[in-house]
Structure 1
Amino acid sequence: MRVLRDNGLTIVLMLLFGGSITGQWIAGWHVQMEDARRHGETMLSLATYTTSPEFLSSVFENWESEFLQMSAYVVLTAFLFQRGSAESKDPDSPPRDKDLDLQASKPGSPHILRWGPIWRALYDRSLGLALGILFIASFIIHWTQSARVAAQEALAHGGTPLSTLAYLGDPQLWFESFQNWQSEFLSTAVLVVLSIFLRQRESPESKGVAAPHGQTGE
């Protein structure tokens, strides 16, 4: 089917996402039940666990780092280069998006480009902005749900829970964030460098198999 051929990459990635988050959900529920059993606490039902701060915090802790990685990557590759990498623009090539006034009149160009300079300025940065907003939203949910988890643990051990705002300065929150951020930046840098010398046949993330190492860009 044409629809499957034209959208196969998104469909497969979303199926992998669905399977993975379902696995995290069920496995996390079993972990929660085991912890509750060990400490003599109330075990949550699967439905209740779905909206629990433990589950939401773990989900958005990971989403936060992914959206940070992608937003940083999209923005940084707009003006930084790595010669020879398939993930970089060629520093010697002319700007691709100059003369947008002229390009906006071409057939097939997005209609928003013809709505005026303000809309054009928003649209020509819309991918980085959208990913940045998703990062901020994910961080806020991770922060607030982690604060709820920390408050529950403090009360269970006779301590005084921090307010949600105070938890923003807690080392635990930043430990959870930085442990994911560092891995995302490392994996992106490794991809950028490996794409100089290694190939993946027919992948748009790779140069052609016979392309010279010095060729920059796909």
Structure 2
Amino acid sequence: MRTFLRDNALSLVFLGIFLATLVAQAFVGHADNNEELRRHDQAVISLGEFVTSSAFVVDVAENWQSEFLQFFVFILATVWLVQRGSPESKQPGDEGRGDDEDQLVGAYARPDSPRWARASGWRRSLYGNSLLIWMGAIFVLSWFAQSLAGLVVANDEAAQHGEAAETWLGYVASPEFWNRTLQNWQSEFLAVGCMVAFSIYLRQRGSAESKPVGLPHAETAVESD
């Protein structure tokens, strides 16, 4: 058990932080939502009703879709683009998908390589792009969930003001939807861009996201291997 915890500490810690913050968001959001209901002389709802409501789902999905879009774009960009000096980048000159020998696939696979890395045809192609596919799928599903939950919330508010309900297409084309969406997107891409650029000149000793402290600014970390 101790070995398991040590070998998986990074994943487990972030899973724990995620669950703790999600639970905290549920409690705080529930309290805020009930305050809003009281201000409008409406009956408050239980925590269970809140976490299954569109109001909670839209806030959660809105953040998830922007995070997974960030990773999707970053993974795809780092296949073809480089940034000299950044540990987030491959070495200049290594742009592209790499050959079979570099990727340890097919005839170059090791005995302990994943089974589908040793396979041929569609299985190797699917596995060779599985990270990008999975991130993209979660983004699309989260974006769709955000749009559906957001539509319910928007139509509830419209009903309270005696206005007509919107269709799904009308909502996803509305300024309100894209204002919420783009607020998240711009912050995610700013964070990624800053990480790529700052890591050229700044260091964090012991972090896998940083170059060695004494490595020159212009040298990409993999160049020192």
Q: Which interval holds the TM-score relative to the shorter structure?
A: over 0.9
In structure 1, the partner of 2:190 is 186
How far apart, CA to CA, are the structure 2 residues paired with 1:40 and 1:16?
A: 36
The superposition leaves residues 10-39 of structure 1 with CA deviations (integer Å, 9 ceiling, x where unpaired) of 111011111111111111001110000000
Residues 192, 89 of structure 1: alpha-carbon distance in 2 compared, 3 angstrom cutoff = same
In structure 2, the partner of 1:139 is 143
In structure 2, the partner of 1:202 is 206
The superposition leaves residues 113-172 of structure 1 with CA deviations (integer Å, 9 ceiling, x where unpaired) of 233221111111110110000000000000000000000000011111102232111111
| Percentage of matched positions with identical amino acids | 39
How far apart, CA to CA, are the structure 1 residues paired with 2:11 and 2:95?
A: 31
Of stretches 61-70 and 201-210 in structure 1, the one that deviates more from structure 2 is: 201-210
In structure 2, the partner of 1:74 is 75
In structure 2, the partner of 1:167 is 171
The residue identity in structure 2 corresponding to 1:212 is P
How far apart, CA to CA, are the structure 1 residues paired with 2:67 and 2:106?
A: 34
The residue identity in structure 2 corresponding to 1:61 is E
1:202 Cα deviation after fit? 1.4
- Partner of 1:78: helix, strand, or coil? helix
Taking structure 1 as the reference length, the TM-score comes to 0.95
Q: 1:8-47 to 2 correspondence within 5 Å?
A: 8-47=9-48
Matched, 1:120 2:121: no
How far apart, CA to CA, are the structure 1 residues paired with 2:21 and 2:129?
A: 31
The residue identity in structure 1 corresponding to 2:158 is A
Aligned length: 217
Taking structure 2 as the reference length, the TM-score comes to 0.92
Structure 1 ranges of 4+ moved more than 6 A: none
How far apart, CA to CA, are the structure 1 residues paired with 2:170 and 2:94?
A: 49
The residue identity in structure 2 corresponding to 1:138 is S
Q: Is the 8 A contact 2:117 2:127 kept in 1?
A: yes
**Pick aligned residue for 1:216 from 207, 215, 220:** 220
The CA RMSD measured in Å over matched residues stands at: 1.4
How far apart, CA to CA, are the structure 1 residues paired with 2:67 and 2:146?
A: 13
Of stretches 200-209 and 138-147 in structure 1, the one that deviates more from structure 2 is: 200-209
How far apart, CA to CA, are the structure 2 residues paired with 1:96 and 1:148?
A: 43
1:179 Cα deviation after fit? 0.1
Q: Is the 8 A contact 1:86 1:217 kept in 2?
A: yes
How far apart, CA to CA, are the structure 1 residues paired with 2:75 and 2:127?
A: 14
The superposition leaves residues 75-94 of structure 1 with CA deviations (integer Å, 9 ceiling, x where unpaired) of 10011010111100001348
- Partner of 2:139: helix, strand, or coil? helix
The residue identity in structure 2 corresponding to 1:74 is I
Matched, 1:90 2:91: yes
- Partner of 1:75: helix, strand, or coil? helix
How far apart, CA to CA, are the structure 2 residues paired with 1:93 and 1:54?
A: 46
In structure 2, the partner of 1:54 is 55
In structure 2, the partner of 1:7 is 8
The residue identity in structure 2 corresponding to 1:76 is A
Q: Is the 8 A contact 1:148 1:164 kept in 2?
A: no
- Partner of 2:79: helix, strand, or coil? coil
